[in-house]
Amino acid sequence: MKSDLLRKKFLEFFKSKKHRIVESDSLVPRDDPTVLFTPAGMNQFKRQFLGLAGDFTRAASAQRCLRTDDLDKVGKTRSHHTFFEMLGNFSFGDYFKEEAIAFAWEFLTAELGIAKEKLWISVYQDDEEAYGIWRRKIGVAENKILKLGDKENFWPSEAKQKGPNGPCGPCSEIFFDQGEAAGCGRANCNPACDCGRFTEVWNLVFTQFNRKEGGVLEPLPRKNIDTGMGLERLAAVMQRVTSNFETDLFEPLIKEITRECGNDKNKELIYAVADHIRAIAFAIYDGVLPSNEARGYVVRKLIRKSVLHLRSSGIKKPFLYKLVAVLADLMEEPYPELKERRENIAEIILAEEKNFIATLNSSDALMTEKFKQAGSGVTPEKAGIIAFQLYDTHGIPLELTLGWAGKHNIKISREAFEKGLSQQKSRSKMQSSMKGDVFDIKDLHLGAKKTQFLGYKKDETRAKIIKIIKDHKPVKKIAKGEEARIILDKTVFYAEAGGQIGDSGELIKGKSIFVVSDTQQCEKVFAHSGKVKEGSFRVGDELKAAVDLKRRLAIARNHTATHLLQAALRKILGPHVKQQGSLVAADRLRFDFTHFKDIDNDQLRRIEEEINKHILDDIALTTASMALGLAKKKGALAFFGEKYEDKVRVVEIEGISQELCGGTHLSHTSQIGIFKIIQEGSVASGIRRIEAVTGKAAYDIIDKDERLVEEIQAVLRVDKEKMAEQLEAKLARLKALEKEQQAQKIGEVKDLLGNLISKAEDINNIKVIAEIIPDASMDILRKAVDSIKENVPSCVAALGAVSNGRALLVVGITADLTKKGWDAAGIIPAVAGIIGGSGGGRKDFAQAGGSDPDSFPQAFAELKKIIQTRT
């Protein structure tokens, strides 16, 4: 049975059991700081598990997940992955053990047709209720039900002893028996054996306790069900293969990698690459770009590991990016958007591949630089730390560093390297799995009811205080000078969402005033953050909520302009442009989008012109609420990374733009006034950013530019039309004068050369010239060194100068000495360090800059010492 059909059957089965089918959440979880990536299906249902959301009590999903805690096992085992899909069904205070067990058994045996005798069960050793259901209600044979302990059959694992505090409970697992031939062959082999014969298919978690300090387990008043079944493992069972990598979820990827390799000798590496490309592509799909921080570091690390695996398999050129198209075809049914964005994702991966391959190809120079910076006499422990840093920051594998170190007689402590690696793995494991008190509710506004939002049509309203939160705790009253968050039954204040910042304004009760500085929301509960300016406020008070209308309109101008900007970019640059993020503030807007080329000035002008044309056309904006499917069918663009409900709001600028958007907008484009781009550039591989202003802010910039032009015009004393011509003429004259001055200086230096050469010091038959040339530029220093090398055999020349308070240094070595192994690039780091800088170059010439020109005498003394020691 194909994987797409399995996924579909699972969701349809639970739909028939009255479950809400919920779309997969992003790999980047919203409103959840406890995890780096989404590690399980239950993460998006935390509010339901807590009883803070009651819109449905049964749910099922096929959740995309990413974990890195078992990264080193990927490819080596049959079922470890970084990216996988978790099929799960959930109950929030609705059904419990009996129904959950019955649903699982029915789906596996009746719906999928798996032979009952092939299935084994494990239960928690103290859970007699679950044991009884499996044994008496389902009819599983006694010898096929195992009772296991806290580590294997309690969630979270060993939570009773080790925590965390919060909801927890026993679990029951379902295993598929692959037969005696697949395992150790022992007669008493069972799922507790790790021989590989038994595949864990489904885990049913019965959340029935609340763990408190000291390991005390209190029964929960609302018991929940949380189940998880890996699609990859289920596919292996249904497709009758022993490894997940032999299923249709991986076969096209493995086939393509093997074809490029020319063989399948390195199966483990090929499997790992096939796994990693899924994690990489879907992480980028969900907005995570390669970087050296947090989630981006994970993506970069997976790309680098894949490149190294491919190199070991004989693929030296960028190849990983080509697998995105294969993956997009493979996952088209559940994720059609992946196919639409495959080129963008592939370009991002390609850029990373090229950079890393270039780093690997220049690794000798990189390692030389890093070890030189550490100075002479590097200890094995220090060398081990440097080796780890090279691996951690640049991706240089230890074996490569060890090879280089061996050639340079440097010993590397593997223990120091492994210590750094172990610490990094611990950090990664903590970030990619649940930690702390998972169900911490201090930022969930303590279960307040949803706030009624009236801000689309009003800017003030009468409202009632539902809660006051101070220092994360509910209070009854706040007085003058106190800061707090106030939750109202209804509001006109827009809460930060979709890139738009929250509203500010005032809450007024008679003479009492609460100044709102920001508005935030969590699950449609709006919190008005601010400070009591006058008087006091109590829970239950009725008041007037009034938005700062001037600021609201400034934000709306920028938000409507953002929609016009995206439409203009798609028209002028191409339909591949997709929003990757935005900021809509009162003073400016920022828009990140996919595009792989520089945007020239002509294109930027055309973009500005297009938007300002639409502003002059005074086009009306309309909004409509409709089903998500209908909105997408009508071609409405979605905000990147946003998860939408079944009903969505569509903002349309007729004939120009349609977007899913919950933000506040103008009624006509003419209200924007003026649109002006103030900055454009690249923020990551394949991602560019435009910053712009509108209205008064745009006018102020244009006015400032005009005043600057007038000042320049006054200095040049010419008409505006002739300013550019006049500036060019003056710059040409300035350049000519600089050339004349440099020629004069070169002449002076040539006159000095004879004196410099005559002062050359002989150190063991090597002529050493180390002098400072007053007022010389770097170019003059270079030419002077070249002249000395032409006239003095067996010479090392070091010339310095001071320019704008900084030290300039060049070192030249004649060809006869470089043939004997002398290296200017190897000498200059030690000398440059003394003048407070660093440098590099070739064997015959190197240069450096530094912040301490007063130390030239010590630097020249160190140079002579190096030559004395070497010879």
Residue 556 in domain? yes
Out of 210-224, 603-617, 787-801, 818-832, give the one with best mean pLDDT: 603-617
As a whole number of Å, the end-to-end CA separation of the chain is 75
One domain, residues 791 and 827: yes
Inter-residue contact 541 to 510 (CB < 8 Å): no
Q: Is the pLDDT of residue 31 over 80?
A: no
Q: Per-residue pLDDT tens for 806-820?
A: 999 999 999 999 998
- Domain boundary, last residue among 640, 661, 692: 692
Alpha carbon 497 to its chain centroid, in Å, reads: 19
Please tell me the predicted confidence (pLDDT) of residue 163.
82
Residue 318 in domain? yes
| Residue 239 banded pLDDT, cuts 50, 70, 90 | very high
The closest of 839, 857, 861 to 848, measured between CA atoms, is 839
One domain, residues 479 and 582: no
Q: By three-state DSSP, how is residue 796 classified?
A: strand
- Centre a 10 Å sphere on the Cβ of residue 407 and count the other Cβ atoms it contains: 8
Please tell me the predicted confidence (pLDDT) of residue 428.
60
The residues near 155 (Cβ < 8 Å, ≥ 6 apart) are: 168, 169, 170, 171, 203, 205, 207, 226
Q: Is the pLDDT of residue 442 over 50?
A: no
Total number of residues shown for the chain: 871
CA distance 433 to 426: 11
- Of 202-211, 718-727, 760-769, the poorest mean pLDDT is in 718-727
The residues near 313 (Cβ < 8 Å, ≥ 6 apart) are: 257, 261, 265, 266, 269, 270
Q: Is the pLDDT of residue 429 over 50?
A: yes
Q: Give the CA distances from residue 571 to residues 74, 520, 593, 632, in Å, rounded to whole numbers and listed in that order.
A: 44, 34, 14, 19
Q: Give the CA distances from residue 285 to residues 217, 633, 641, 642, in Å, rounded to whole numbers and listed in that order.
A: 41, 21, 9, 12
- Centre a 10 Å sphere on the Cβ of residue 763 and count the other Cβ atoms it contains: 16
**Strand pairing of 58-66 and 20-21?**
parallel
Please tell me the predicted confidence (pLDDT) of residue 359.
86
The 8-class DSSP code of residue 256 comes to H
CA distance 44 to 36: 13
Q: Per-residue pLDDT tens for 707-747?
A: 998 888 888 888 888 888 888 888 888 888 877 776 666 67
The 8-class DSSP code of residue 242 comes to S
> For position 534, which CATH number holds?
2.40.30.130
CA distance 833 to 829: 6
The 8-class DSSP code of residue 214 comes to G
| Residue 430 banded pLDDT, cuts 50, 70, 90 | low
Location of structure tokens 């028996």: 177
- Of 135-149, 173-187, 583-597, the poorest mean pLDDT is in 173-187
Q: Per-residue pLDDT tens for 391-428?
A: 888 888 888 888 888 888 889 998 889 888 887 766 66
One domain, residues 805 and 678: no
One domain, residues 53 and 124: yes
Q: Which range of residues forms the domain containing residue 488?
A: 460-545
pLDDT, average across residues 596-601: 90
CA distance 421 to 856: 40
- Domain boundary, last residue among 183, 216, 246: 246
Residue 561 in domain? yes
DSSP string across 80-132: --SEEEEEEEEEESS--HHHHHHHHHIIIIIIS---GGGEEEEEETT-HHHHH
Please tell me the predicted confidence (pLDDT) of residue 522.
80
Please tell me the predicted confidence (pLDDT) of residue 397.
84
One domain, residues 214 and 239: yes
One domain, residues 427 and 279: yes
Residue 393 in domain? yes
**Residue 461 phi, psi (nearest 5):** -160, 160
One domain, residues 200 and 290: no
- Of 292-306, 629-643, 704-718, the poorest mean pLDDT is in 629-643
| Residue 612 banded pLDDT, cuts 50, 70, 90 | very high
Question: Looking at this protein, which amino acid is placed at residue 705?
Answer: D
Please tell me the predicted confidence (pLDDT) of residue 478.
97
Q: What is the mean pLDDT of the chain?
A: 90
Inter-residue contact 794 to 767 (CB < 8 Å): yes
One domain, residues 96 and 136: yes
Cα dihedral value 655, 659, 660, 665, nearest 10: -90
> For position 643, which CATH number holds?
3.30.980.10
Residue 492 in domain? yes
Inter-residue contact 136 to 117 (CB < 8 Å): no
The 8-class DSSP code of residue 179 comes to -
Domain count, the chain: 5
CA distance 115 to 570: 54
CA atoms within 13 A on the CB side of 563: 35
Please tell me the predicted confidence (pLDDT) of residue 848.
93
Q: Per-residue pLDDT tens for 82-98?
A: 999 999 999 999 999 99
The closest of 481, 465, 525, 529 to 502, measured between CA atoms, is 529
Please tell me the predicted confidence (pLDDT) of residue 640.
57
Residue 360 in domain? yes
Cα dihedral value 725, 730, 732, 737, nearest 10: 170
One domain, residues 519 and 562: no
Please tell me the predicted confidence (pLDDT) of residue 444.
44
CA distance 599 to 450: 44
One domain, residues 200 and 161: yes
DSSP string across 655-706: TTEEEE--S---SBGGGG--EEEEEEEEEETTEEEEEEEEHHHHHHHHHHHH
- Domain boundary, last residue among 184, 211, 246: 246
Phi-psi region at 51: left, alpha or beta (left = phi > 0; alpha = psi -120 to 50): left
Residue 650 in domain? yes
Q: Per-residue pLDDT tens for 491-533?
A: 999 999 989 999 999 999 999 999 999 999 887 899 999 999 9
Question: Looking at this protein, which amino acid is placed at residue 114?
Answer: I
SS3 readout for 830-845:
HHHHHCCEEEEECCCE
Q: Give the predicted TM-score (pTM) of the model.
A: 0.75
Please tell me the predicted confidence (pLDDT) of residue 363.
82
pLDDT, average across residues 431-446: 45
The closest of 124, 125, 128, 131 to 101, measured between CA atoms, is 131
Residue 364 in domain? yes
One domain, residues 513 and 608: no
One domain, residues 574 and 535: no
Please tell me the predicted confidence (pLDDT) of residue 427.
62
Q: Give the CA distances from residue 444 to residues 48, 155, 169, 521, in Å, rounded to whole numbers and listed in that order.
A: 12, 23, 23, 9
- Centre a 10 Å sphere on the Cβ of residue 506 and count the other Cβ atoms it contains: 18
CA distance 673 to 132: 73
> For position 803, which CATH number holds?
3.10.310.40
> For position 138, which CATH number holds?
3.30.930.10
Q: Is the pLDDT of residue 434 over 70?
A: no
Crossing angle, helix 695-716 and helix 549-572, to 10 degrees?
70
